[in-house]
Amino acid sequence: MYKNSWVHYLTKILVDIIFFGGILICLALPYIVNILEKYYGYNSLRLFAFDIVLTPAGLLAIYFIWQLKMIFKTLIGGNPFVPENVTCLRKMSVTCFLIAIVFFVRGVFYFTFELAAIVLVFVVGGLFCLTLKDIFKQSVSFKEENDLTV
What letter does residue 82 receive in the DSSP assignment? S
Contact 135, 85 (CB under 8 A): no
Contact 55, 26 (CB under 8 A): yes
> Can you give the pLDDT at residue 48?
74
User: Closest Cα to residue 72, out of 143, 147, 18?
Assistant: 18
SS3 label, residue 150? coil
Q: What would the DSSP string read from start to end of 107-138? A: HHHS--HHHHHHHHHHHHHHHHHHHHHHHHHH
User: Closest Cα to residue 93, out of 58, 55, 136, 128?
Assistant: 128
Report the alpha-carbon angle 141-62-32, nearest 5. Answer: 165
Which has more pLDDT, 137 or 51? 137
pTM over 0.85: yes
Give the C-alpha separation, 81 to 71, whole Å. 10
Task: Give the tens place of pLDDT for each residue, 4-55.
Answer: 788 888 999 999 999 999 999 999 988 887 787 778 777 777 777 777 888 9
> Can you give the pLDDT at residue 1?
47
Domain ranges of the chain: 6-149
Task: Give the tens place of pLDDT for each residue, 78-134.
Answer: 888 999 999 999 999 999 999 999 999 988 888 889 999 999 999 999 999 999 999
> Can you give the pLDDT at residue 56?
94
> Can you give the pLDDT at residue 36?
76
Give the C-alpha separation, 72 to 77, whole Å. 8
pLDDT of 150 over the 60 cut: no
